[in-house]
Chains A and B, each alone.
Chain A
């Protein structure tokens, strides 16, 4: 079945076609965008929201019948809406993998940092408010484990950005990370 026929019909009909087997690769796009945007959001949570967003955009009269980048745009909208909800103190999700409970990401991140997963949840919200360049520096050095010598100004910038991101994730009483060139 081609993309056009998958996206035809009401939002619920589209959802019933695109969730089983994930024929539109929504999950892969979601994973890629999370990485590109350097965000600590649960892939599962983002994928579910992205499926719903794709279905809704497909059924909307203004969608322009799918086309190039249609799924990517919907995935980005889904990520934006989740980031927006996480910032809101009154936002309560009724989904089981909601941000109300510490997510898989929070558990994964809490272990190496020696933190409570619930504290990591708030730390992630602070982390997401950082500029993308700062978040990406943290991903480069800490998540991917790339060595940065901090010899050139740009390398030093990356190292400083990663430190800034780390400070955001750590509780305020932790000793500050330092950069040595």
Chain B
């Protein structure tokens, strides 16, 4: 009980400082802070739920990955149950369950296979707590569910914000993958190159940047992207293997015949691709071979 020091405590008084006048007012404001913490926790649980269903979205494994790693279902259920228990136990005076608690309860009642789509869950999470990350999750969820217009609008609106974004590279990556899914390869390359310049960007951006230069057919940009990839990426890193798998899946599907259509039409790119593909151990070589 080290945190309880009755002896060295100042005389008992309500916190009367700054703008707070009475103990009742302080309690009321602290209760609002408690509700805020509850909302944050529910929103986080809903985003984790979205990550749980993301792999079954139709664009999963092709267009990108959800910004949160897929956790295990059982610990999520335990945490969600504990959160709901704490909400019910808030006692008399609780006006109503916080927004999102009902959605959480419904998810708990159903098996994972019967949960709504990743974008519906991500939308519920954003309604509970709006944040830059909540918007990125929703944009990515729309991309994975194939709602490309909504995804595009979300990422563009984020980039138009006057404030400095904390996860700008994630927004650029989301926009690039949305352009790619819509067959706008040139725009996709522009966005992914901006993303790859961010020192915090993930492996996916660096891998996609090379993949796209090979699609577009720009040997100089392809060589630059390859050099960056080889310098930054460990070919055995799980994130690299996952990004490579997505490129392979996309090449196999040709994504509705739009994306990657031009791949075979650029002899110059074919030369660079073949040149890179000869480097068997390099990450750039792996990407080049995946594109063949």
Known: A19-B30, A28-B10, A94-B32. 9 other contacts (CB 8 A): A3-B3, A4-B1, A25-B3, A48-B33, A51-B26, A51-B30, A51-B33, A88-B166, A89-B132
A15 to B85, CA, bound (A): 17
Contact with A along B14-53 (1 / 0, CB 8 A): 1101111001001101111110111010000000000000
Contact A11-B90, Cβ < 8 Å, known A42-B18, A67-B1 = yes
Q: Report A1-54 residues with CB < 8 Å from chain B CB.
A: 2-4, 9-13, 15-16, 19-25, 27-29, 42-44, 47-49, 51-53
- Interface: B5 (CB within 8 A): yes
A135 to B151, CA, bound (A): 39
What residues of A have a CB within 8 angstroms of the CB of B161 in the complex?
A: 89
Contact A19-B3, Cβ < 8 Å, known A10-B89, A59-B89 = no
Contact B3 A69 (CB under 8 A): yes
Q: Which of B17, B19, B23 meets A96, CB within 8 Å? A: B19
Interchain nearest-CB distance for B292 vs A (Å): 43
Count chain B residues whose beta carbon lies closer than 8 angstroms to a beta carbon of A: 48
What residues of A have a CB within 8 angstroms of the CB of B15 in the complex?
A: 19, 22, 27, 44, 47
Contact A19 B26 (CB under 8 A): yes
- Interface: B91 (CB within 8 A): yes
What residues of A have a CB within 8 angstroms of the CB of B86 in the complex?
A: 10-11, 56, 59-61
Contact A20 B29 (CB under 8 A): no
- Interface: A141 (CB within 8 A): no
Interface residues on A, range: 35 or more
A70 to B1, CA, bound (A): 8
Contact B37 A48 (CB under 8 A): no
Contact B14 A20 (CB under 8 A): yes
Contact B17 A25 (CB under 8 A): no
Contact B26 A12 (CB under 8 A): no
Q: Which of B10, B14, B26 meets A48, CB within 8 Å? A: B26
A55 to B29, CA, bound (A): 13
Q: Which A residues lie at the B interface, using CB under 8 A? A: 2-4, 9-13, 15-16, 19-25, 27-29, 42-44, 47-49, 51-53, 55-56, 59-62, 66-72, 81, 87-97, 104
Interchain nearest-CB distance for A104 vs B (Å): 5
Contact A12 B18 (CB under 8 A): no
A61 to B34, CA, bound (A): 16
What residues of B have a CB within 8 angstroms of the CB of A3 in the complex?
A: 1, 3-4
Q: Which of B5, B13, B20, B90 meets A44, CB within 8 Å? A: B20
Contact A88-B131, Cβ < 8 Å, known A52-B37, A96-B29 = yes
A23 to B166, CA, bound (A): 38
Nearest chain B residue, comparing its CB with the CB of A97: B19
A22 to B13, CA, bound (A): 7
Of the A-B pairs whose beta carbons lie under 8 Å apart in the complex, a sample of 12, sorted by A's number, is: A3-B1, A12-B90, A12-B94, A25-B5, A51-B30, A52-B37, A59-B86, A88-B131, A89-B132, A93-B36, A95-B32, A97-B19
Residue with the highest number of chain B CB atoms closer than 10 Å, among A66, A90, A91: A90
Contact A71 B3 (CB under 8 A): yes
Contact A94-B1, Cβ < 8 Å, known A20-B14, A44-B20, A48-B26 = no
Nearest chain A residue, comparing its CB with the CB of B83: A60
Nearest chain B residue, comparing its CB with the CB of A4: B1
Residue with the highest number of chain B CB atoms closer than 10 Å, among A27, A49, A59, A88: A88
Contact A10 B33 (CB under 8 A): no
Interchain nearest-CB distance for B82 vs A (Å): 5
Contact B18 A15 (CB under 8 A): no
What residues of B have a CB within 8 angstroms of the CB of A56 in the complex?
A: 34, 37-38, 86
A70 to B14, CA, bound (A): 22
Q: Report B125-157 residues with CB < 8 Å from chain A CB.
A: 130-135
Contact B1 A68 (CB under 8 A): yes
A90 to B290, CA, bound (A): 39
What residues of A have a CB within 8 angstroms of the CB of B113 in the complex?
A: none
